[in-house]
Amino acid sequence: MSGPSSLEETVSSFLETIPEGASSSEKEMPSLFLEFSQLLFDNPEHNSEKILISDLGGFELDEFLNFYLEDMFPDDAKIREKGKVFLKKFRKFLDKKALLKKEQEEEWKEFFKENEIR
């Protein structure tokens, strides 16, 4: 991939790494993250602009894990845990592909620490 990676392309690549027999929530969570990001960055004036991995910092992760998931799935007591598992795996994937910028890595590390994601 040349230039900065779009979130959509990256999530698609990540989905390809999920084993066929994985639980539905494991496959659903990346799509929810993409949907959340599109809502968060929705700008009617610039709807052709892609969301980049570099756009995602600690604030966006916090909004996704601590607000969006719980608002969308109030009856799922384990939704935050599922979100944490996804974010941990997604970060490993991003690290492996070296897609996070140095400053972004620090923000993600702080977010993981604050939310006890190990």
CA angle 86, 92, 98 (to 5 degrees): 130
Classify 52 as helix, strand or coil. strand
- The CA distance from 83 to 69, in Å, is 8
Q: What is the per-residue pLDDT across 45-58, written as a single tens digit (0 to 9) for each?
A: 655 678 899 999 99
pTM tops 0.75: yes
Q: What is the per-residue pLDDT across 64-92, written as a single tens digit (0 to 9) for each?
A: 999 999 999 999 999 999 999 999 999 99
